[in-house]
Structure 1
Amino acid sequence: MSPEQAAEFAHDWVESWNAHDLNRIMAHYAEELDFCSPLIQQLGADASGTLHSKEALRAYFATGLDRYPNLRFELQQVLPGVQSVVLYYRSINDWPAAEYMELNAQGRVQRVRAHYAAPAAGH
């Protein structure tokens, strides 16, 4: 993935989340996927923290958008790789977040590992 492709993907991904446009968000993802996040557990979507279908992912994202009506992401950095990208951004409650995403041949996300950290006290 070129730096330009990664930046274009990242900006569209963040803009779709900030617009709370679930259809646009879902357009970034493949039908079959492996999406792992601690927020999956926290929001009660799956105790394992991993989802495998676009349908389950859509339900999880809908819950997140409902639970956090003021959700807004702020993109910090985009790190392109070979058919992958890491997005570093500010997430819910201003938490630092990083998502490793692998894309399929059609440019859709098929594997995600999401990481979050609550800001340190006093920051």
Structure 2
Amino acid sequence: MTGPAVRVDTTSPVPPYEQIRAQLAALITTGRLAEGERLPTVRQLATDLGLAPGTVARAYRELETAHLIRTRRGAGTRVAAPPPAPKHLDPARLAALAQDFTATARALGADTEAILTAVHQALD
């Protein structure tokens, strides 16, 4: 992963595994992490973040369950191919994206007003 770094705020009420999952999901769904890009190993990311490997493993498991990453023995963990574009708006998917964004924003220290301002600016 040569792109943006994942950060964990240990003072946040959001669990570290969820901060990692939300940040990586946001990077993947926005295309900042491209299909096939290799992610750090569980041990390496845990060491980089000063966390237990089980914390990172849980985030990776959840990302794999969501089909955002895939892990293959010998090939490592890589960003999965994006799913085909839906033909209609999926409210559950939109809600999940909003949750990922807000969890990541809160992990960075943003309050509700800052989050809403960012969304409004992105829409303009």
Fold shared by both chains (TM-score > 0.5): no
- Choose between structure 1 and 2 for higher RCO, CA contacts under 8 A separated by at least 6 residues: 2
Instruction: Give TM-score scaled by structure 2 length.
Output: 0.27
Normalized per residue, the structure richer in strand is 1
Normalized per residue, the structure richer in helix is 2
| Pair member with larger Rg | 2
Instruction: Give TM-score scaled by structure 1 length.
Output: 0.27
